Amino acid sequence: MPMRKNHIDTVIDPIQLEVFKHLFSAIAEEMGVVLQKSSFSPNIKERRDFSCAIFNANGSMVAQAAHIPVHLGSMPLSVTSAIAKYRQGNAPLVPGDTIILNNPYLGGTHLPDITLVTPVFISDSHNHIQPELAKNLSDRSITPFAYVASRAHHSDVGGISPGSMPIAREIYQEGLIIPPVKIINGGVLNTDILDLILSNVRTPEERLGDLQAQIGANKRGVNLLINLINRYSRGEVDHFMQELLNYTERMTRALLSDLPNGCFSFEDYLDNNGISEDLIPIKVTITINNDTATVDFTGSSVQQEGNVNAVYAITLSAVNYVFRSLLDLDIPNNSGCLTPIHTIAPRGTVVNAVHPAPVAAGNVETSQRIVDVLLGALAQACPEKIPAASQGTMNNVSIGGWDPEHECYFTYYETIGGGTGASVKSNGVSAIHSHMTNTLNTPIEALEYCFPMQINRYEIRKNSGGKGVKHGGDGIIREFKFLTDAQITIISERRSIAPYGLAGGDNGQKGENLLIRGSEESNLPGKGSLRVSSGDILRISTPGGGGYGIFDERE
């Protein structure tokens, strides 16, 4: 294989580039294993609702594990917010520090997603690691070489309803807002900050366990990156960090060059904002110009009174996810993907909300619709690559109350899979999480062991995928029976507008939420909060994916 030259005319060894790609991603993967294995909550341990990644000194994401797309595309903005805070302040970062934050307006997603950022220090004057804390912290040659970060969805961070996914009208109702602060300062845990966080949540022991798991994951990432630098040298590791960013940028430009030049527009809708019943338009126009693209969300709705607002970081995540998905090659998923793509999201809209708009559902639901409109637009440019709409929702269920058996408060959160859209090549997949979520299901055994609930039904929702030459995947039916009184919050979409088919394929079936009390059944809205009693049953039927191609009944 011939060696190529980059834009600064240095030789790139493609074999070494591939080796370092896997070395960096392996560090992020091992961070994820530590986080999952040592966490307390089923949401992290079982559903794996977390993400880990490595960043260079400027906060650009270099490598990630195969975790949650909506986390990973937005994390660079959290890391750069943390870097900026301590570059400008009077307390610069030192070895042994870890920063905690969850503010959606500083690169976060929604408040339950807590991010920990840990700098990796080496000597600027030597090619080896400083293995201990710096003796002279005023020595300005001691600067961060890189950062590792983990983001995990915590099942409760306060707010007006258990699970911190409320039907809110402002972000202050959604939970505790954490700006970038040092949870660990020079290797010493900041117990004042920790106490403040734990005093504002319903399940402090579980939160403490999950935060300690994130701290352990970050420590593992730091140690592995230090070992890598000791093995190869600072200069070589730094070189390949940049080359991997350059490589992803080049591959993205090559993808854009293969697409036809032109403007491609698409519009879809959110069902409502949880407070009013008005449809909420999201519109995009993608302009391809040789090896660059402009993604313009002008024409999308103004930000909403309800919690479906997405911050700019969420919109960037969706753009990154869609264009990265078009690349057939196994290239690293890093910040280089967005370099040739300019994203326009007008401030004060549902795709770039401004403080203090509520955002709990923007992360989980609006992100999915942003993906749907991006794919709808790109289906006009490269129809052979684009599937019909997947279920387009995460079917969020938050539950909390008093557990009489364990004599403690409990909170539970999960998302439920559905059908994916069919494509020109294949049928959709049934009963799976899609697009901006990459979580697993919570096993029935784990749920029933930990919480005063039982699962009466958990099955594929037959024939809910749209018909076509290739049919959409089917959704899921999941039934919860409550064994104690509780408060539940449901945030779901595609209850009014079905997932679209492509090339004449049928739409997937819309989702349904149902409450069963004795012999009475009542339909629940797509978004809402209510009290349930012991013995009540909640049935969530999730949407199917859209079909592809015109279905012929005679065949």
DSSP H stretches of helix in 199-259: 204-232, 234-258
- Please provide the size of the chain in residues: 555
DSSP H stretches of helix in 51-190: 69-72, 75-88
Per the listing, tokens 């090559």 go with 254
Sign of the torsion angle spanned by Cα atoms 164, 165, 166, 169 = positive
- Note the pLDDT of residue 161: 96
Q: Residue 306 corresponds to which tokens in the numbers above?
A: 């309800």
pLDDT digits (tens, 9 = 90+) for 380-394: 999 999 999 999 999
pLDDT digits (tens, 9 = 90+) for 281-322: 999 999 999 999 999 999 999 999 999 999 999 999 999 999
- Note the pLDDT of residue 54: 96
Low-confidence residues in the chain, pLDDT < 70: 1-11, 72, 88-90, 124-141, 553-555
Which residues, other chains included, contact 91 with Cβ-Cβ below 8 Å and sequence gap of 6+?
182
- Note the pLDDT of residue 189: 97
Q: Residue 205 corresponds to which tokens in the numbers above?
A: 């022991």
Which residues, other chains included, contact 231 with Cβ-Cβ below 8 Å and sequence gap of 6+?
none
Which residues, other chains included, contact 468 with Cβ-Cβ below 8 Å and sequence gap of 6+?
388, 422, 501, 503, 504, 505, 506, 546, 547, 548, 549, 550, 551
Domain extents in the chain = 15-249, 388-555
In angstroms, the CA 180 to CA 200 distance is 17
- Note the pLDDT of residue 168: 97
Please report the beta strands in 314-419, taking only residues with DSSP state E, as ranges in sequence order: 341-344, 396-403, 408-414
DSSP H stretches of helix in 275-366: 312-326, 360-361
pLDDT digits (tens, 9 = 90+) for 160-213: 999 999 999 999 999 999 999 999 999 999 999 999 999 999 999 999 999 999
Which residues, other chains included, contact 326 with Cβ-Cβ below 8 Å and sequence gap of 6+?
255, 378, 382, 385
Residue among 541, 314, 350 at smallest CA distance from 436: 314
Strands 475-482, 408-414: pairing is: unpaired
Count other C-beta atoms under 10 Å from residue 354's C-beta: 13
In angstroms, the CA 537 to CA 477 distance is 13
418 contacts 437 by C-beta, under 8 angstroms: no
In angstroms, the CA 18 to CA 491 distance is 41
- Note the pLDDT of residue 126: 43
- Note the pLDDT of residue 6: 43
Q: Residue 268 corresponds to which tokens in the numbers above?
A: 């879809």
Sign of the torsion angle spanned by Cα atoms 207, 211, 216, 221 = positive
